[in-house]
Amino acid sequence: MRICLVLEGSYPYVYGGVSTWMHSCIRSMPEHEFVLWVIGANAKDRGRFVYALPPNVVEVHEVFLDDALRLRGEAKPQPFTKEEQAALEELVRLGSPDWAVLFRLFGEKKAHPLAFLQSRAFMQMFTKICAEEYPYTAFADAFHTVRSMLLPVLHLLTGEVPKADLYHAICTGYGGLLACRGGSTFHRPVLLTEHGIYTREREEEIIRAEWVRPDFKERWIRFFYMLSEQIYRQAFRVTSLFTSARSIQIGMGCPAEKCVVIPNGIPYETFCGIPLKAEDGWVDIGALVRLAPIKDIKTLLYAFWELSARRKNVRLHILGGVDDAEYAAECTALARQLGLENVRFTGRVDSAAYLHRLDFTVLTSISEGQPLSVLESLAARRPCVTTDVGCCRELLEGAPGDTLGRAGYCVPPMYRQGLADAMEKLCASRTLREKLGAVGQKRVAQAYRHEQMLEQYRALYAETARAHGLPDETDSEELWLELGSN
Q: pLDDT tens, 158-203? A: 989 999 999 999 999 999 999 999 999 999 999 999 998 999 889 9
Instruction: Give the span between the Cα atoms of 206 and 214, in whole angstroms.
Output: 10
φ, ψ for residue 120, nearest 5 deg: -65, -35
**What pLDDT sits at residue 136?**
86
Question: 193 forms bridges with which residues in the sheet?
Answer: 239
Ordered DSSP codes for 414-430: T-HHHHHHHHHHHHH-H
**What pLDDT sits at residue 54?**
97
Asked if 371 and 195 touch (Cβ cutoff 8 Å), the reply is no
Q: What domains can you pick out in the chain, each with its CATH number?
A: 2-70+160-261 (3.40.50.2000), 82-145 (no CATH), 268-447 (3.40.50.2000)
When the pLDDT of each residue in the chain is averaged and rounded to a whole number, the result is 92
Predicted TM-score of the model (pTM): 0.87
pLDDT level of residue 73 (50, 70, 90 thresholds): low
Instruction: Give the span between the Cα atoms of 169 and 143, in whole angstroms.
Output: 31
Helix (H) or strand (E) holding 8: strand 2-8
CA dihedral angle for residue 56, residue 198, residue 221, residue 122, rounded to 10 degrees: 10
Asked if 351 and 288 touch (Cβ cutoff 8 Å), the reply is yes
**What pLDDT sits at residue 386?**
98
Strand-by-strand arrangement of the 384-387 sheet? 343-345, 314-318, 283-287, 360-363, 384-387, 408-411
**What pLDDT sits at residue 484?**
46
Question: Which of these, 271, 242, 260, 269, lies nearest to 396 by C-alpha position?
Answer: 242
How many CB atoms within 10 Å of residue 150?
Answer: 21
Helix (H) or strand (E) holding 61: strand 57-64
Question: 2 forms bridges with which residues in the sheet?
Answer: 33
- Contacts of residue 286, defined as CB under 8 A and 6 or more positions apart, other chains included, come to 316, 317, 319, 354, 355, 357, 358, 360, 361, 362, 377, 382
Q: How far is CA 128 from CA 125, 131, 249, in A?
A: 5, 5, 32
486 has a pLDDT exceeding 50: no
φ, ψ for residue 204, nearest 5 deg: -60, -40
Q: How far is CA 351 from CA 32, 274, 379, in A?
A: 29, 11, 12
Render pLDDT for 242-261 as a digit per residue (tens, 0 to 9): 999 999 999 999 999 999 99
Report the pLDDT averaged over residues 469-480: 59
Amino acid at 149: M
pLDDT level of residue 473 (50, 70, 90 thresholds): low
440 has a pLDDT exceeding 70: yes
476 has a pLDDT exceeding 50: no
Helix (H) or strand (E) holding 385: strand 384-387
Instruction: Give the span between the Cα atoms of 271 and 148, in whole angstroms.
Output: 46
Instruction: Give the span between the Cα atoms of 458 and 454, in whole angstroms.
Output: 6
**pLDDT, greater one: 379 or 480:** 379
Burial degree of 103 (CB within 10 A; 0-12, 13-18, 19+): buried
**What pLDDT sits at residue 172?**
96
Instruction: Give the span between the Cα atoms of 474 and 145, in whole angstroms.
Output: 48
Report the pLDDT averaged over residues 209-227: 91
**What pLDDT sits at residue 115?**
87
Q: How far is CA 22 from CA 19, 153, 261, in A?
A: 5, 25, 17
Report the pLDDT averaged over residues 223-246: 95
CA 282 to chain centre: 35
149 has a pLDDT exceeding 50: yes
5 has a pLDDT exceeding 50: yes
Please tell me the least confidently modeled range out of 208-212, 274-278, 346-350.
208-212
Let me know the angle formed at the C-alpha of 365 by 312 and 444, rounded to the nearest 5 degrees.
90
Residue 189, classed as helix, strand or coil, is coil
**What pLDDT sits at residue 74?**
57
Render pLDDT for 295-315 as a digit per residue (tens, 0 to 9): 999 999 999 999 999 998 999
Please tell me the least confidently modeled range out of 152-161, 181-190, 205-214, 215-224.
205-214
Report the pLDDT averaged over residues 23-51: 95
**What pLDDT sits at residue 479?**
47
Report the pLDDT averaged over residues 467-485: 59
Amino acid at 217: K
**What pLDDT sits at residue 331?**
96
Asked if 330 and 303 touch (Cβ cutoff 8 Å), the reply is no
475 has a pLDDT exceeding 60: no
Q: How far is CA 80 from CA 122, 153, 282, in A?
A: 11, 18, 71
**Is the N-terminal amide bond of 54 cis, ω within 30° of 0?**
no
Share of the chain above pLDDT 70, in %: 96
